[in-house]
Each structure stands twice: as structure tokens, then as C-alpha cells.
A and B are shown apart, each in its own frame.
Chain A
């Protein structure tokens, strides 16, 4: 796929990012690259600014300094037509789901398709059904309204909407939070499969250590207002930083690690 005017490798380039709310600084001098076709997991403590970083990249939180480039373009400097073009190439899952409350789940998934692709109605409905099923919802969830869904179902519907246009990159804010463990591992599988068959790039904020191990090619750790380490999980795990040590060597971190090691020795 030729991607207009970008340095072949990087889907996202963040340089010297600074964001703030009034005089509370959230990020300072933050650098991050996301390469084409990789799954990057962003971790960090609660309130460390993961969601705000995602909002800065997708054009919802204007940085007070620094540059954010996506597909090689600066969203904040792009004109209306360029923005529309960019918006068709990404999909976003917000932390709270952010489904449109006056539409059914299926209509939510159809909304971006109708807006951007103008396909025949039957085809649109088929695509919506496909995405809903792929995200792990049963077919009878299609005509439910968001207020009638459980928390986990809300998340899944949000995932279905994020994937509606088969985007080149998806931004997922805690996609597995609120999913049952079976659903969570199905989700890992779905994302990895899509990455492999479509070359999908994934920017994923997550606290789920199992997902980090199972799905992520690289992990970026957000602390002290910037990305302190970014690399394959093995490298990150060995980085010398108190928060990282505590994160990976706490009981949950050890359990997740043990299970992946067991998987690898078991299968190969």
C-alpha cells in the first residue's frame, strides 16, 4: 500500500510533545515512534497521561509544544480535506466506549461507513454484521441500544466501530478492560490476525499484562511525563526503573510472564 508522503516506516511520529491543562503539565519533551504494521502497547500508572497522549495524536488535544505527525502529516496544521482523508484511515476506541447513545450497536458500526464510503445499504449491513461478530458480540446485540449493553459488550461494540472502515491504524484505549478472560484472549487473537493479514498498525493503551505478552510487538512505558523506555517487552522488562521493576515483578507481572514462558516451551 502506498501511503502518501511519509517516511516509509513510521505511521506516527511524536517529537518533543508537551501537553498541559492550564498550568498542569501532563507531557513534556515526549518522543514516540509507531512503525507501520506493529502493535505497540502503552503502559503507565493511572493518571500518567496515556489517554491524553492518545488524544494528542488523534487531534483532540492540541499540544502546547512539539510536533505530532500521523501518516507523515501534521493533523493540527492540515486543512479540512486532508483531515477528512486522515480520519478515514484510522479507527478509535475510547476508554469509555463513546458509542452514540441514540443509535443501535449496528447503526453505530454503520455510521462511519455511511459517512465515508456511501455503500449500498445491504452491503453496509453485511459489513456491520461482520465487524460485530468479529469483535465477539452475538448477532442479537445488533439492535440493542448502548444503554442496554453490559460494560464489556460496550467495549466490544466500540471495537467493532473502530474497525468498521478497516483502518490502517487503530487506537485502542484499554480494549480488554471489562472483558472476561476468554473475550480478552479472543481479542488478542483478533488483533494479531488482523495485523498479519491486513498489515494493521495498533496503538493500544493497556494495563493487561497478558495482552502485552501475547499481542504487543513493542511496549512504551509512560512515566515522568515522557516515554522512558520503548522496545520489545523483554528489553522493557529488564530496564532499570523503579516503576517498571515493580510493574513486571509484582505478583501479576510474574504470573503473566510465567504463563507466556510456559506457552512457548509447551508449543515449541
Chain B
């Protein structure tokens, strides 16, 4: 069962085995060293007149070659001016790596003298030596990197330029989404209701417990802090206003948006990104199915609908949390809390909060989908863009919130 998806109870066993493995590792390594000594690949060098003899023996298999590889690499210098004879009579076992090392050594010396040869190979070993012969050229391992300082400058420059283009691309993606939205709304039969409802359930309903719990706790914390500080001025009663204002205007909606950015924004990127990697998006386009219409719009619409609802719920639970704390620590009864809230907090505070929700939702969903579309090729790219998606969404949510705050301040709402 280790290889298949671990179930809930199995994950504990998994952690246990991993820990055990980690503990056991050093012992294993010790064993490996001992084995190497027993049956390693060996070489003896013999100089006889103008002939340089290299007697190979033991097991010439990949795992035993590590200890002699470096020695063989310097060998071509030592054998300068001699004929080289490699005697493989005593080699017990050889695999392709062993054959490759022998051929490589031979070739690096052969260029200087014509009398060199490999002798004593059994039929099997000769076949193996012949088989690896055409494949000795080195190959590229990874792309060359220039030195670290240049790389850093390069990255800085690239990052700056990319930031500019990324901003442009996001803007154009937003425009594209909006124009698609108008197009689809003008032909309502193109609206994918099933998909929208599905995403509303995933991003909305399934997030209710966590959003509710968090905002309840935040409401409680705000009330508690308020009580602590305001009691120094004998003004505990004002913590009702504090809770009401903070939760209704800012915390309810902001908390919901932040949680949804982490929860659904990243999910959107991962879903669309892995579809991109598996060429599903390309397939859609060639089949005349518009990914914007099928993937992006339902997600955006669903989030724009559910986030205000979540924000409303968060605000209410925040009030309840705050009310509970004021009741327990300051003996402000729920009835008093309610009537004072009603008296002091005007309704527009509530609207200020809720009005921001659809904007946040739009930004989160669009960024999530946009980053998903930017994924290319590797699993690493998917990870990078999922991170970017959450970071950018949070950043924009806060920036937009600040703009709204200034705006409402100006118009005195």
C-alpha cells in the first residue's frame, strides 16, 4: 500500500516508516562501504619496457567503479609515450558502465601510440566492449550558467522588465475576461450553469466552516483588545463600536477574501495549470471549445457570487464573536450589545464592507486563472505560478482595499 495513495490512517504509518528510514540510513551506508571493499573493481599497473600494462580484475560494475574512476582519469598522463595494453582476463563481471570506463581509458591513451590494445576479453565482454564503443561521446548535462554575479544582474533586469510585461498581460487578460463576459451574457445559453454551480459549491459552501471560524475568532480578539485598552479610560462600552466598525467595514470581507485567495485562487491555478501541461487547453482550442468560456468565466462568476455571501457571513460571525467576549469579560449583555450596535453603527458601514467583496472576488479568480494559463511544461513551473497567484491576489486585494478606504473617506460614506 506504500505506493498507492496513502489514506488518512496510513499517513501516520508513512511518517513512521520515513522516520525509521532516516534513522536507519547511516547504518546502511556503513554496510555499503564494507561490500565495496570485498568485491571492488581493481587495477594493477605494470611497466615492462615500452609497454604499459593495466591488469583489470574484480567486478567492473557501475556500483564498484567509484573508487577507481579518478585514478583511471589520470592514467592517460602517466602512460605518455608507452604502448598501452589493457588486460581484462581477470574481470569477473562487467556491465555497460564498466565497459565504458575501459574503452574510455583505452581511447584516451590510444591516440598517442599505435600498439595499444585490449586483450583477454571473453566473448561476452568483447561484445559488451564493442557495444559501448560508438557511444562514448560526452553529452550536455544542463545549460551553462554564467557566473553568479552576472546571473544576479541578469535576473534583476529580467525581473524588472517582466514585471512590466506581467502587469500589461494581467490587464489585457482582465479586459479579455470582461469582453468575453459581455459576449456570454448577451447569449445566455452559452452560460455554463452546471459549472458555475459546481464552483460555487467548491469555493463557497465548502469554505463556510473555515471562514466562519476565523472571523468568529477575529471578532473575539478585536473585542478583547478593545476591552483591555478602553477599560483604562473607563470606556469599555466603546468596544461595541470598535467591534462593529472593524468587523463590518474591514475584517469580515478582508478575511473572507484572504482565505478564498489561499483556498480557491491557488486551486484555480493548479487546475488550469495542470491542464495546460497535459495539453488539454490546446486540445480545447483545436476542438473549437473556448477555454475562456469553459474554464475562466464559470470560475470568475462563481466567485463573484459567493464571496459577498461569505463576507456577509464572516461579518455576522465576527459580531457574534465580539459580542460573546464583551458579554463574558465586561458584562455587556447581548441585548445591550445589539441595541448599542443598532444605535451607533450606521448601516452604511455594512455596505462599505460588502461592496468590496465582488471586486476582491473578481481579482482573485482572474489572477488564479491567469497564472494557470501561464504555466509551462514542468511541475516546477506549476508550483511557481501557484505561489505567484496567491501572492499577487493577496497584494491586489490589499491595494484595492486601500483605494476603497481612501475613496470612502473622501466621499464621507
Contacts and interface: CB of A to CB of B under 8 A. Distances in A.
A141 B380 contact: no
A152 interface: no
B1 A62 contact: yes
B104 A126 contact: yes
A170 B96 CA distance: 15
Interface in B90-149: 93, 95-97, 100-101, 104, 124-125, 127-128, 131-132, 134-143
A107 B141 contact: yes
Interface in B250-290: 277
A166 B379 CA distance: 28
A193 B3 contact: no
Contacts of A148: 377
Interface string B141-159: 1110000000000000000
Contacts of B65: 119, 123
A95 to B, nearest CB: 14
Given A59-B3, A62-B1, A126-B104, A147 B377 contact: yes
Nearest to A129: B139
A193 B134 CA distance: 14
Contact of B377 (A101, A106, A139, A166): A101
B141 A142 contact: yes
B359 to A, nearest CB: 36
Interface stretch (A12-20, A130-138, A226-234): A130-138
Contacts of A100: 379
Contacts of A133: 134-137, 139
Interface string B313-325: 0000000000000
Contacts, number: 132
A120 B135 contact: no
A139 B128 contact: no
A176 interface: no
Nearest to A196: B127
A113 interface: yes
Given A104-B142, A143-B143, A147-B377, A130 B28 contact: no
Contacts of A147: 277, 376-378
Contacts of A127: 62, 97, 100
B228 interface: no
A59 B379 CA distance: 24
Given A62-B4, A145-B377, A147-B377, A120 B141 contact: no
Interface in B2-16: 2-4
Contact of A130 (B2, B4, B63, B136): B136
B138 A145 contact: no
A61 B96 CA distance: 31
A193 B61 CA distance: 17
B100 A106 contact: no
Given A117-B62, A147-B377, A193-B127, A130 B132 contact: yes
A55 to B, nearest CB: 9
B320 to A, nearest CB: 44
B93 A1 contact: yes
A197 B65 CA distance: 19
A170 to B, nearest CB: 13
B66 A102 contact: no
A106 B21 CA distance: 28
B73 to A, nearest CB: 7
Given A80-B21, A101-B378, A101-B380, A120 B142 contact: no
A141 B139 contact: yes
Nearest to B131: A193
B140 A143 contact: yes
B139 A128 contact: yes
B61 A166 contact: yes
Residue from B1, B17, B96, B137 with most neighbouring chain A CB atoms (10 Å): B96
A261 interface: no
B379 A101 contact: yes
A166 B17 contact: no
B24 interface: yes
A100 B377 CA distance: 11
Contact of A126 (B32, B125, B138, B140): B138
Interface in B230-267: none
Nearest to B138: A129
B27 to A, nearest CB: 10
A62 B3 CA distance: 9
Given A123-B66, A130-B100, A104 B3 contact: no
A49 to B, nearest CB: 17
A118 B33 CA distance: 11
B161 interface: no
A1 B59 CA distance: 11
A106 B3 contact: no
Contacts of A117: 62-63, 66
A243 to B, nearest CB: 31
A166 B139 contact: no
B346 interface: no
A65 interface: no
Contacts of B34: none
A139 B138 contact: yes
A113 B62 contact: yes
Contacts of B141: 104, 106-107, 110, 125, 128, 142-143
Contacts of A115: none
Nearest to B123: A197
Given A80-B21, A197-B127, A197-B128, A166 B97 contact: yes
Interface in A169-217: 193-194, 196-198
Nearest to A127: B97
A102 B69 contact: no
B142 A125 contact: no
8 contacts: A80-B17, A102-B380, A139-B139, A142-B140, A146-B377, A166-B95, A196-B127, A197-B127
Interface of A: 1, 59-62, 80-81, 83, 100-102, 104, 106-107, 110, 113, 116-120, 122-123, 125-134, 139-143, 145-148, 163, 165-166, 193-194, 196-198
8 closest A-B pairs by CB: A147-B377, A142-B139, A133-B135, A101-B378, A143-B140, A102-B380, A139-B139, A129-B139
